[in-house]
Structure 1
Amino acid sequence: VVSLISQFADDNLTLNISTGLAIAGVIVIARSIKLITKFQAAREIPARFIERNVSLRGKVHSVTEKGLEVEHVPIYLPVISPLLSKGSLRSYCMNEEVLGLGLARTAPVPGVLPNSRLYWRLHKQLHRAEVKAEKKGRGLWKEDSLWERTSKAISNNALFSLVKRIF
């Protein structure tokens, strides 16, 4: 039994060690360039990702009073990512989506130089989404209907309030 095990180990040892070292090397390289790092908060995203306009992916879990709760998905790799993810993810800018729904307003981007090309491109894209929501009357820019305005005017009327108190 011992001789069979030693013979099997001798035949397969070089293949297993080299394969193991190759896999370990790929993992170390991927972690060092943050390909498989899962960010827990926005402040953990390296500044070079913002400077190079690296796309990050995530799933929105809920909308709370504190903001959006998003689960970050590691950077997309053509061969590996489909195997690791449960479904394919659509790619879109979360900031643009929130602005397009009228749930937010544009603000200066801290950490990005205001006279850089990236800043103006991003600002223009986000401003378009905000203007689109404003034109369509979504979210913050939603106007009350004629019926809602009329009912508010009547309920705020002093004479109506006096009649209401009497009856």
Structure 2
Amino acid sequence: MAVAGVLVLARSVRMTTKFTSALDIPVEFVTKNVKLRGKLHHITEKGLEVEHIPISIPLITSIQRKWQSKGLLLVKLAGVEWAPSGMAWLQQELKPKQMIWFQLLGREELALECLVLVNKGRFLSVCLNEEILRQGLGRTVPIKGLPHDSHLHWKLHRRLLRAELKALKKHKGIWQEESYYERLRDRISSNRVVQVNSP
């Protein structure tokens, strides 16, 4: 009983620990794709700067607060390379100090590759990775940190590609610009054909 109690306590201490650096997060949290909660502070070109908000257990949390240091985690939208307009969209959509959830998929140096979820009401949450692609404000890229042959990698990658395809079909965002250039190129090439064929 005592050993089981110690194990439960140790696990709860880890879940209530405030992580202030990507390197502080246990490897098993990343490999098991644990979902963490945090408060948004800044949106930068590198990603979202988030203050981790751990699970609160009154006795343990009050003890830990005395020695926990301060720091922000750099959270990247896994599988997404956003355009400059994507950063502007995020700054409009997300409120300062907004609470978000981020599911750990990988860690690269001091950055965390994550699926980022935002609550949009009591029963609705939006995945920012998918939404930014659905708006045509970024492109799908390989998900760093997940083995490329893993089931989870391909499941998430398909989700992201479907979101990107919706924007492509509707010519939204960056795809609107590309479709314009494609039309322009087609006009130029068709004009050349007319000139060549003209007597």
Q: TM-score, normalised by structure 1?
A: 0.49
Higher gyration radius (CA): 1
TM-score (norm 2): 0.42
Q: Which has the higher strand share?
A: 2
